[in-house]
């Protein structure tokens, strides 16, 4: 292998590694949210999704969640700002899965997959459509 080819390969590997690390750092920052406390809110077992009317991703999340045929409660910031403050919600969309005692089983920020939500619902003991 020529020295030029080795140098090009090294540059490509370093660039790929930098891109991968950047992607992972952005992904971790986007998908983290401080733990919330919904004990002061009267919420049903199942899914609670915190949204905003200005949020584009919220519409996508709501469509996914509505397809699961489980109890769903949407809490919109513009309509219920006190609920956001009481729970400590800092970013939307935030999907929360509650068990029958009202405990948070899963807290899923950002755009979520139906598979991930169904897994959390099983952990909560809440039935989801197949």
Locus of tokens 């891109």: 19
Number of domains in the chain: 2
Could you tell me if 89 and 55 are in contact, meaning their C-beta atoms sit under 8 angstroms apart? no
pLDDT at 71: 82
pLDDT at 26: 52
For residue 100, the number of C-alpha atoms closer than 13 Å in the C-beta half-sphere is: 4
DSSP letter string, 68-112 = T-S-EEEEETTT-HHHHHHHT--SS-EEEEE-TTS-EEEEEESS-
In a domain, 111, yes or no: yes
CATH number at 58 reads 3.40.30.10
The domain in which residue 105 lies consists of 46-124
Provide the residue-wise pLDDT of the chain in tens; the chain has 130 residues.
688 888 888 889 988 888 877 665 554 445 578 899 998 998 888 999 999 999 999 999 999 999 888 889 999 999 999 999 999 999 999 999 999 998 999 999 999 888 889 999 998 888 765 4
Q: What are phi and psi of 3, to 5 degrees?
A: -60, -35
Q: What are phi and psi of 8, to 5 degrees?
A: -60, -45
For β-strands 94-98 and 46-51, DSSP reports them as: antiparallel
Q: Are residues 26 and 50 in the same domain?
A: no
Environment class of 112 (CB within 10 Å of its CB; exposed 0-12, middle 13-18, buried 19+): buried
pLDDT at 29: 42
């Amino acid at each position: 292998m020529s020295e030029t080819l080795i140098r090009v390969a090294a540059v490509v590997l370093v660039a790929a590694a930098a891109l991968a690390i950047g992607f992972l750092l952005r992904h971790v920052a986007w998908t983290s949210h401080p733990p919330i406390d919904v004990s002061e809110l009267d919420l049903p077992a199942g899914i609670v999704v915190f949204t905003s009317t200005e949020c584009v991703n919220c519409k996508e999340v709501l469509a996914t969640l509505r397809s699961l045929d489980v109890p769903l409660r949407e809490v919109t910031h513009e309509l219920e700002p006190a609920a956001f403050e009481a729970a400590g919600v800092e970013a939307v969309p935030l999907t929360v899965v509650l068990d029958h005692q009202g405990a948070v089983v899963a807290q899923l920020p950002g755009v979520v997959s139906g598979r991930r939500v169904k897994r959390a619902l099983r952990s909560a003991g809440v039935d989801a459509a197949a």
